[in-house]
Amino acid sequence: MKYNYVLFDADETLFRFDILAGMTRMFKAYNVDFSQDDYIHYQKTNKQLWVDYQNGTISADYLQVTRFNEWAVKLNVPAKELNDAFLDAMAQICEPLPGAIELLNKLKQHAKLGIITNGFARLQTVRLEHTGLKDMFEWLVISELVGIAKPNKAIFEHTFELMGNPDKSEILMVGDTATSDILGGN
């Protein structure tokens, strides 16, 4: 079967990054020695917020600020400031997964490429520029900007509209999470 369109998730599909390393880098600016235990504690809040975001029960803004509320109180800085510092750190440590650039170069010769991501606009655009992948894609659909997160079918329908509503048999969705990346696109 020949696909004329290939849509990718971004994080952990095209890019890899070490969240702990990013957080360690971020907190260094606040003179905090961020530990593995700190990370585990942070993830208890962060992971549930991501589930809520993907289920449509909270907004991207709420997720981004709330995940740093505890640290904001400890450091006496706004949670938004911590989130911005985190996004900056994560953009800097991001790199393409091994083989991603070669795969995209090969695919680009035969299909139109796009991204559908639940990531945040500020981070995703910097990552694409930082990794040199920006010009590989015809479409960049970011849930934060659309107001709908994967796996909601509406974000896929929005993307298909941007693509000119091609037959779905011509579209391949590639991602690392069956529930948010694949099921929503079916």
Boundary (domain end) residue, out of 93, 110, 138: 93
35 against 177, higher pLDDT: 35
User: Are both 144 and 75 inside the same structural domain?
Assistant: no
| Mean residue pLDDT across the chain | 92
Express as a percent the part of the chain with pLDDT over 90: 72
- For the stretch 58-111, pLDDT in tens is 999 999 999 999 999 999 999 999 999 999 998 888 889 999 999 999 999 999
Q: Which residue(s) pair with 113 in the sheet?
A: 6
User: Are both 35 and 126 inside the same structural domain?
Assistant: no
pLDDT of 136 > 90? The answer is: yes
Q: What angle do CA 12, 181, 19 make, to 5 degrees?
A: 25
pLDDT of 116 > 80? The answer is: yes
- For the stretch 151-183, pLDDT in tens is 999 999 999 999 999 999 999 999 888 777 777
User: Are both 87 and 71 inside the same structural domain?
Assistant: yes
* Total domain count, the chain: 2
Residues recognised as catalytic: 9
Q: Going by C-beta distance under 8 Å and a sequence separation of 6 or more, which residues neighbour residue 186?
A: none
User: Are both 12 and 100 inside the same structural domain?
Assistant: yes
pLDDT of residue 1: 64
Residue 6's pLDDT band, with cuts at 50, 70 and 90, is very high
User: Are both 12 and 23 inside the same structural domain?
Assistant: no
With helix as H, strand as E and coil as C, how does the chain read?
CCCCEEEECCECCCEECCHHHHHHHHHHCCCCCCCHHHHHHHHHHHHHHHHHHHCCCCCHHHHHHHCCHHHHHHHCCCHHHHHHHHHHHHHHHCEECCCHHHHHHHHHCCCEEEEEECCCHHHHHHHHHHHCCHHHCCEEEEHHHHCCCCCCHHHHHHHHHHCCCCCHHHEEEECCCHHHHHHHHC
pLDDT of residue 9: 92
User: Are both 117 and 168 inside the same structural domain?
Assistant: yes
What's the CATH code of the domain at 177? Answer: 3.40.50.1000
**What tokens appear for 132 in the block?**
């040199």
pLDDT of residue 85: 95
User: Are both 181 and 115 inside the same structural domain?
Assistant: yes
Boundary (domain end) residue, out of 93, 111, 133: 93
Neighbours of 151 (CB within 10 A): 20
What's the CATH code of the domain at 76? Answer: 1.10.150
**Span 30-41, average pLDDT:** 96
